[in-house]
Each structure stands twice: as structure tokens, then as C-alpha cells.
Structure 1
């Protein structure tokens, strides 16, 4: 269904939700109605010696983290950063990245974090479209000199708004660039933090979606600490601050549950990996005993493969909180037994939607022939966002359609892309997620797939997510993602990209027989099989990289010939 044409207000961070709704959510207690630094500062005063961050260099308490944040804020102010300025942050998972988050919040500036590993072309796009005035970047990370690359872009005049590149970490500092270490030594005695309106922009989340360029989504202090904070709040034991191990980058959209939520909202502890490996993650669980482990399903599958069979169990967290893709029932149950905790498959995106089944989970983890289409993801929480379904045609209630969301976590707007505001936001503030779903009679949301991921075979639509959900229960499959590959006759055919379980070699005919037994229509069966011998690729943000798999499958089946391949 197409929204009527309308004009949108000008300005970089105009809130597309009516102000009366924002105030009503705050009055209802869904938002703390304070800026992120003020929230963090209250926890620092209450418990200055409590551990705030554990990274590769050890522990940092709230008092020391606050000292670093204030010194950095004072140094950034001396470098010309003002309230409302956008500042890019391209740092690995370290205490410096957390201090940068807090320093920018204390200045009333707007943080634009994006993960290390993203190349110069993408950084150029993000910094240019956002109008960033400065960027804090690593001098070197795994062979890439991010600060030097960005300093070159700034010197070339290609980014006219970018005035300052701050180099962080060991190694040579590019000419003309202040160092983060130097700014952290600034005297902050006279520094007074800003007190920004909590409904103004605090952070820009970068979405690894399917647009030609990554989408940038502006979030307010209230939307982060309130709406997104409430997502985690429902997974906490009463009165116990969380101890969250982040397996992916804090600079990703998923990582926005780090500084803003775990620290500022809930007064917890961040346990950080500078790089995910299954062995490092398992060791961190044993050593630091996190209450919550946040990552993507592929990471958990890799960890399960490395866990020795037997009674040894890592110190049991309260929950594994997994986003980015659907989790199959078999892996969910295996993880629940292995880690001795709840496994929460979070449905959400940077665009402004979040839903999960809580610590007990929805009744079903994946589709079976008699319990409805798609994946049950839980009942929407009004403290996070309401959800409604926009039918694809003029249908009745209960029909599959596009998922729309609006609530305390709803972002302000898209950044540097007014066409996305027109396409994905309604006149009254609802976000069009681009996901297909339905609401059951009991209010449970079921997610069926992505509008843009639909594979069109001979004019008929196939949802890859639906097929993935069925294939994931096959005993030979550890991980699976389905993509479309070009075909001269049918337009597209469906390819199943499969990571087999150890010692197994599934064949296409067997997979199709499994789908027959599951009751999936034969027109939806995959016609190509790509065996992936290592792992499904991940984006720098730690999410499954569907685009990379699509390219790999297209190269393996360049003309639509052949039914099986190996990569």
C-alpha cells in the first residue's frame, strides 16, 4: 500500500513522530526523560567503584570511565566540537569507544559510530551524507590505517564539512591529526556538560540493510535509553544490573544496547571482545560470567561446535540475546541445554522495531505445518513499540502484510536521505519496516520474510525466510541462508547456501524431500545448492551477509546451469 505524497519538514534531525506522542510516552514512564550522560552520571555517583567496562586491557570502573569521558569531552570542545555536531566514531570494542560515546553525549553532539573494517568508500558515504564535522578513527586495525585514510579524504576536500580527524590507538598519528590519547589528557576541571533535550538526536545508527548505501537512522536520548532500554529491561532479573558480553561491534546498530542501554540506562557492566572468535567468546563467558550474551545466531552455532561434549558448561548466563536473523528450533534447544539459560531470538532493526518473547520465549521457535506461517517472535511491548500490519491488498485482519511500528523506540528520521523518510515513514510517525508479518488472534507477531528479499521465480514470489525456517530443522544442516540467483528462463531461481553439520554432506534431493515432509509447496523448493565449507559470511556489523552469499551463488551458477556447488 502506498502512502499519499506529503511534504516533510526540513532540517537534519526533524522528529517525524508527533511531539504529543513523545510527551505521552515520557509521562507514561516509558522513557527516563534525561540525556544519556546525565543517566550515566547518576550511576557513577551511586557506585563509583563498580566495574563499567571489561576489555582486552582489563577492568575500568565507573569513576575512571567518567574521568576519561569528561577529559575527552573537554578536549573535543577545545577542538571545536559543538552541541548538535555529528562526530563519526570508527573504533574497535574498547574502553576508548565507550568513553567517546559518553563524551559526545556530554557535549550534546551526535555520535555516528560505524565498525572498523568498513572501507574508505563506505566511510566517505556516511561522513559526507551526515555532514560530520569530525571523526575519531583507529590509527590501525588489522592492517587497515583508518585514520590515515580518513585524513586523506579530509585533506582532499571531498568531505567539506569534515574538519578534524582524531587518531586513536598505537602507531603513527597522521600529520595534522590530534591524537585521542592527547585529548584524554585534557584538564576537565572547568568542563560543564550540556543538558540536551532528551528528545533530540544523540546517535545515528547505521543499518546494514539492502539500500545501495547504508541507511543512517537518527535516535534521540529517550528512544535509546527508553525504548531500546525497555527491550533489555524485560530480560533482567529485578534489581540486578546486567553484565552484558557483546560478541559484535558496539559501533553496529545492535551495539547501541551497549553504552546507552547497559551503562546509562541500567547501570551495568560491558564485557567487550575486540574481535569475535568462538574460543574467545567461550573464554569470556567462563572468565567474566556475563548475565547476557548478545550476538547473532551464526556466532552461537560456531560456539556450540567448539564446546567439548560432556558435562562442562560455561558459567550460565541469564540469556543469550540473538538478533540479525531467525534462530531455528534445533539450535535454540541445543544452545539452551549447552549454556543452561534462556535463548531469546530478538526481532528488530535499526529502522525502529523490536519484539521478543521474553525469558520464556514464544510458544514456538519456528514454523511447523500446523502452527501458522513464518516465525513467532512474541507479543509487542508498548513500552518499546506498538506494531500493526498494513495488508498488501485490501484484506481483513490477520492477513499477511508489511509490519509497521511506532513507539518509545521510534527513531527521529533517516539522515541524509529524505527519499527514505518519504518511503518508510507515514505522516503520523509509523515506520514501514519492509518486513512481512501477521498478528495472531492472541497478539503474537509472526514474521514471514522481507519484501525486498523476495525471490521472483517465473512471476511467483518466494520468501527465502520461510524456506530457511523449514530447512533449518534438517539434521544435516547447521546453518542456512537462501538467495535468488539469476536465470535466463525463470528470472530467478532459489539457491540454498548450506553449512553442513560436521561429517554430513546434504544433497539437494534430500533437502527437497525434507521440505515435502514439512508441507512446503514445491514451487518454493530450492533448485540450487551451495555447500559452504567454512561459515556463512558476516558483515562488519556481525550480521549474516546475504549480499555476499548472493554474489557467491551467482558466480557458482552463472547461467542458471548446474544444481549443486561448493564454496
Structure 2
């Protein structure tokens, strides 16, 4: 049986004194990380938590977050990472939905979690002694460093990662030890990464992308540098890459454009970086060629996947190579294109993308209906993306999951934004879509129709969005219109609304 805790311990045996994690001026060797995560597991069990219970994690990137992930794995307790950009209402929903038994949070969340502490204990990191709150560091420091004795198998759940739902409510993707390890091992094999490499985790660690980078590094004995700043800034990324001679990393295309700028300005050591993985949004030919021309030995890969799938397909980009495809299935994955009756489609015919393999999620937490709708009887999973397979097996996507918008790598679902706006008493209808943005990938646009006999103060809609939605979900533009296109079913045809807006705003 291969579990996350066993994999980490194995790396610690082989790479005892080598740096495992670096965060700013702090670092932990593999042995120190192994012992620290033993303490975390012991501390959690000493509080009376048992295997299978859930712990919420509201922590920024750093050693605390990485240690918590691995400590929970060793205790058989399930981690529930929470998006730090969510509003208190969104955070509360995920914590209550997952029925968490304890929360580990950064001290900055003291005010936001005050109403929750009567329901569940909260331990805070980096507290001032005078705060009177529970200290996570003191709890862990008092625990022994011996391994815990908990029977954990590879199909046990390690994390529940919430992904926005098309109905407006986030859904918890249940991911096991082995499914996450298979993602890491697959990427190691596909990308050619070894213990001699140095990785950089830039994206937030409450997302699966950086979780996979950290996990991948830890289990093979590679050093992982965790980006040490709360806000992502291109200059700081370049500084970390140069300082630690990073050899592999994962970006979203919006960040990759900043890296191309830095290369062309001569600010990056181009001899060290050799593997770049990009995900979450399509890569255009101009940006691809800028990266490949700027770095002398880099291998640039595009990966298609999701919180639910894990890694699905991968393609290595080359100068003047084909664009539009997200590649061949990664090792162990099988991709099928099915029609609305879930019958196989021939090459070249568009249908819904279904995937089967060792890196899939187990289910949606507490949502058997959504689980049944997403899985076929023989174990293929869909997240609603549309595409086709070429005759030689390349996967092409033609539409993303429903009408999902990607803002700087963050998924935004229009229904969630529309529901927030429609809480305004003067609003009758709303539709939301994404439009291209050169830096953030896309930005959110909302078209709204007032109720009959009412007028809408647009500034009050912006304020409502600020109160209800994380910053990346808020509309960049809110435009009042007289009517919206309505289809035969009586629903707004979002595609037509977007096309009309783009025609009115060609620039």
C-alpha cells in the first residue's frame, strides 16, 4: 500500500539532510519535515480526532500549509483547504458542508472565524501571546515526534478540495492518497523530473496545482521552493527562480506572459529552468514562442486536467508546433468522447469528454446525485467539457465546462455571480460571461435588466458583488440593458448575449 505519509517518510530516509521545503529564509530538511509531520499527526490525535474526520485549512502558502497537508495524511485525517479569497459566507459554507471537526487558520482570520469558534475549535498560526486564542505552534511543539499508529490504506481520503459548481454552490471533490500520488508519479514520468531538480510552487496551495507540485517534489526527494509572498508579483517570482536556481515550475498563461517579459528584459537566468508546466487556460502561439525562444533548454508542457480528474492529457510545445490540442492522454488515463446518450463518438466528432484512470476523484462529498451524474457505470468521469479526439488520438477542446470563466487561473462560474447580483431588489434578470483580457486571461462582464418599473443603481450592484463574492469573481463591467436574448426554453442565451456585447465593444 502506498500512502502519502509512507511516500514522504521514504524520501526522508533517502534524502535525510537535503532541503525539502524552502520558504523565504526558512527551510526544512526531509528529516525535519518527516518528524514535524509526525508531531502534527500526534497533536491532532491527542485532541480526540480520529481517522476520517475533517480539518479545515485556512492558511496562506508557506511551511505551515505544507506541513499540515502531510501531517493530516499521516493521521488519516482529511484536509479541507479553503480558498483564502472567498468571502466569510463562502468560507462558512465549505466548512459546514464538509462537517469539519477542527480548523487550522492564519491569525488574520481571527475576526472572520469568531462566529464559528462556538461550533468548532480553531487553532491559529503565528499568534501574539496576548491574543488568548489557541496556538497551533504550541499544540504541535508539545506533541511527540514518533510515528503514529493508524491503519491507513491507499484508497483512504486525503483531501476534499472544493470546486465551484455550475449551480452556484461549490462541490467538494474527494481525493484519495493514491489518486494524488498517481498524479505526482505520472508528472514525474511525463516531464522527466528527478530528485536533482528544484521546483517552485507559485500558485496558491489551496488549489490542486500547487498541492501537486509540493507532493511531487516531496515524494521523489526534490527540493521545493514555496513562493513566499501573499500577492503574486512577477519581479518576486523572478527573484525566487534566480536565487534558488529553480529547474521546474507550474504557471498559468497569465503568469507565463510576465515571465516572457522578464526573459526579454534580461532579468532571468535562462540556463537553469528546464521544465515549465502550464495549465488552466489555453496557450497562444505568440506566448509559446516567446518562452521557447527566451529559454535555451526549456521544455514547455501544457496539461489538461481538473480538480476532479487530476492530470488528464499533456502536450509538449515546440516552435511552430500545432496549437489547439491539449495533447495525448497521460500514462494510465483513457479518454472517451460520448454523445448526450453517453454513446462513443468517432474521431473528429464533438462530444462530452469522459476520463478514466488512477488519478480521478472518488466522489463529490455528500452529493450522491452530482456523483451519479458525473460518472458512467463503468467508471468514466466528466466535468462537462466538450471536445473531440483526432484520428491519431490527440484531444481537442472546443468548449470549457459549461460557461466557466478563468480569471488569472481562478475558475469563475457565471451562475454564482448571477445569483449574487439577483439579490438586488431592483434587478429582474442578469447574465454573466467572460471576455478576453491580455493580462488576466479573462474578465467578468455582467448584463442586467431592471425589474419592470424599477431603475438600478449600478454602483450598488458593484457594492453587492464586493460583499458577496471573492475579488476575482466580481464583474469588471456591469451594464444595464433593456432586454436579454431568450431561448426556446425561456432561459437567457448567454452565448448570444456575449456575442452582442462584443459587437458593441469591438476594442
Q: TM-score under structure 1 normalisation?
A: 0.70
User: 1:150 matched to which residue of 2?
Assistant: 113
CA displacement 1:428-449 (0-9 Å, x = unmatched): 2211121011111111111111
User: 1:552 matched to which residue of 2?
Assistant: 476
Residue among 77, 100, 125 paired with 1:168: 125
Residue among 19, 39, 45 paired with 1:51: 19
Segments of structure 1 that go 5 or more residues without pairing to the other structure are 1-32, 141-145, 158-162, 367-374, 455-463, 466-480, 502-541
Residue among 231, 234, 239 paired with 2:190: 234
User: 1:457 matched to which residue of 2?
Assistant: none
Structure 1 position 405 matched with structure 2 position 355: yes
User: 2:466 matched to which residue of 1?
Assistant: none
Cα distance change, pair 332–210 in 1 and its aligned pair in 2 (3 A): farther
Distance 1:492 1:180 in 2: 44
SS in 1 for 2:326: strand
8 A contact 2:58–2:82 mirrored in 1: yes
User: 1:377 matched to which residue of 2?
Assistant: 326
8 A contact 1:148–1:174 mirrored in 2: no
Q: How does 1:161-240 map to 2 (within 5 A)?
A: 163-171=120-128, 175=132, 177-189=133-145, 191-208=147-164, 210-237=166-193, 239-240=194-195
Distance 2:336 2:130 in 1: 51
Cα distance change, pair 312–557 in 1 and its aligned pair in 2 (3 A): farther
SS in 2 for 1:74: helix
RMSD, aligned α-carbons: 3.3
User: 1:332 matched to which residue of 2?
Assistant: 288
User: 1:386 matched to which residue of 2?
Assistant: 334
Residue among 335, 341, 345 paired with 2:302: 345
User: 2:218 matched to which residue of 1?
Assistant: 263
* Range that drifts further, 65-74 or 328-337: 65-74
SS in 2 for 1:153: coil
How far has the Cα of 1:422 moved from its partner? 2.3
Distance 2:116 2:504 in 1: 45
8 A contact 1:352–1:431 mirrored in 2: yes
User: 1:15 matched to which residue of 2?
Assistant: none
Q: How does 1:143-542 map to 2 (within 5 A)?
A: 146-155=109-118, 157=119, 163-171=120-128, 175=132, 177-189=133-145, 191-208=147-164, 210-237=166-193, 239-264=194-219, 266-273=220-227, 274-275=229-230, 276-310=232-266, 313-340=269-296, 341-359=298-316, 364-366=321-323, 375-383=324-332, 385-392=333-340, 396-398=345-347, 399-453=349-403, 496-499=435-438
SS in 2 for 1:280: helix
Cα distance change, pair 307–70 in 1 and its aligned pair in 2 (3 A): same
* Range that drifts further, 554-563 or 332-341: 554-563
Distance 1:423 1:482 in 2: 19
8 A contact 1:313–1:338 mirrored in 2: no
8 A contact 1:90–1:114 mirrored in 2: yes
8 A contact 1:353–1:409 mirrored in 2: yes
User: 2:424 matched to which residue of 1?
Assistant: none
SS in 2 for 1:416: coil
How far has the Cα of 1:148 moved from its partner? 3.8
Segments of structure 2 that go 5 or more residues without pairing to the other structure are 407-411, 419-429, 441-469, 484-499
How far has the Cα of 1:172 moved from its partner? 6.3
Cα distance change, pair 118–451 in 1 and its aligned pair in 2 (3 A): closer
Q: TM-score under structure 2 normalisation?
A: 0.78
Q: Which structure would you say has the larger RCO, counting Cα contacts within 8 Å and 6 or more residues apart? A: 1
User: 2:44 matched to which residue of 1?
Assistant: 76
Distance 2:183 2:311 in 1: 9
Distance 2:285 2:189 in 1: 25
Structure 1 position 120 matched with structure 2 position 75: no
SS in 2 for 1:132: coil
8 A contact 2:326–2:396 mirrored in 1: yes
Distance 2:433 2:80 in 1: 37
User: 2:100 matched to which residue of 1?
Assistant: 132
Distance 2:355 2:19 in 1: 36
Distance 2:213 2:30 in 1: 14
How far has the Cα of 1:186 moved from its partner? 1.7
Cα distance change, pair 38–392 in 1 and its aligned pair in 2 (3 A): same
Distance 2:71 2:432 in 1: 50
8 A contact 2:127–2:135 mirrored in 1: no
SS in 2 for 1:419: helix
* Range that drifts further, 425-434 or 306-315: 306-315
